[in-house]
Amino acid sequence: MWSLETLGREPLSAHFWMREFLYSEIGNFHAVPNIPDNPDLALERGRAFATALLDPLEETFGRIFVRSGFRSAALNGYGNANKLNCARNDNPLECHIWDLPDVAVSGATVVIPWFARRYEAGRDWRDLAWWLHDHLPYSEIWFFPKLCAFNLVWRPDPVRRIDSYIAPKGTLLKAGAEPGEDLETRAARYEDFPPFRGIALPV
pLDDT in tens, 138-179: 999 999 999 999 999 999 999 999 999 999 999 999 999 999
The pLDDT tens digits of the residues spanning 59-87 come to 999 999 999 999 999 999 999 999 988 89
Give the N- to C-terminal CA distance of the chain in Å, as an integer: 32
Structure-model confidence comparison of residues 200 and 32, the more confident one? 32
The pTM assigned to this predicted structure is: 0.94
Q: List the strands of the sheet with 106-111, edge to edge.
A: 65-68, 106-111, 150-154, 140-143, 161-164, 170-173
The pLDDT tens digits of the residues spanning 175-202 come to 999 999 999 999 999 999 999 999 988 8
Rounded distance between C-alpha atoms, residue 117 and residue 114, angstroms: 6
